[in-house]
Chains A and B, each alone.
Chain A
Amino acid sequence: QKEVEQNSGPLSVPEGAIASLNCTYSDRVSQSFFWYRQYSGKSPELIMSIYSNGDKEDGRFTAQLNKASQYVSLLIRDSQPSDSATYLCAVIMDSNYQLIWGAGTKLIIKP
């Protein structure tokens, strides 16, 4: 069973602090990893994609990938109340192009 695991939260972080979101996946040969943000009642919005081990930065967001340990994380610096949402991790685990999704972590940024 191919799985993507996330802590459901909620994760509460003070405004201005760093929010750290984690995701583990079961298939060692996975190659493509994505973080999506989803506000309540809305559709998922792509934040970051990462394909190689290491860090990838985009503005306040940094994605970190460690294929040996089979985890991918998302760091949000200088957290803002508008960052409060559910963050979904998604992984393409094999060549059939299908994304396997985690259940999401609910993030709450407290002013």
Chain B
Amino acid sequence: DAGVTQSPTHLIKTRGQHVTLRCSPISGHKSVSWYQQVLGQGPQFIFQYYEKEERGRGNFPDRFSARQFPNYSSELNVNALLLGDSALYLCASSLGGVGSPLHFGNGTRLTVT
């Protein structure tokens, strides 16, 4: 079975631009979570979606938004990019129950110049 797939793998954007990151979960997984990871730190929670509804939101500004589609794939959108948004963006899927382990995609490396 295919794992979590993310696209694109790398992205270079300029300050002020907008970016859309995409994620397809493992087949059968109904929950998708988004994380931001900067070098030397653990992943920071951005959003979790379950059955197309937002289940949780981390401490990120409103420039960050996400949605989940009927096929459980998801998009993360970031507006008005800042240099500090440069990071590895990770998508993880899970079955969705409490305590369900997360399975990560390979991530999207975003560089803002």
Contacts and interface: CB of A to CB of B under 8 A. Distances in A.
B28 interface: no
A44 B36 CA distance: 12
B57 to A, nearest CB: 9
Contact of B107 (A43, A95, A103): A43
A90 B50 CA distance: 20
A92 B33 CA distance: 14
Interface in B82-100: 88, 90, 98-99
A51 B102 contact: no
A98 B42 contact: no
B76 to A, nearest CB: 15
A101 B98 contact: no
Q: B interface, how many residues as a size bin?
A: 20 to 34
Interface string A89-111: 01010011111111110000000
Contacts of A95: 98
B104 A45 contact: yes
Given A88-B42, A97-B48, A34 B101 contact: yes
Interface residues of A, number: 24
Contacts of B104: 43-45
A34 B100 CA distance: 10
| Residue in B50, B56, B104 whose Cβ sees the most chain A Cβ within 10 Å | B104
A31 interface: yes
A42 interface: yes
Contacts of A49: 99, 101
A17 interface: no
A101 B43 CA distance: 6
B42 A101 contact: yes
Interface in A1-46: 4, 31-32, 34, 42-46
Interface of A: 4, 31-32, 34, 42-46, 49, 51, 88, 90, 92, 95-104
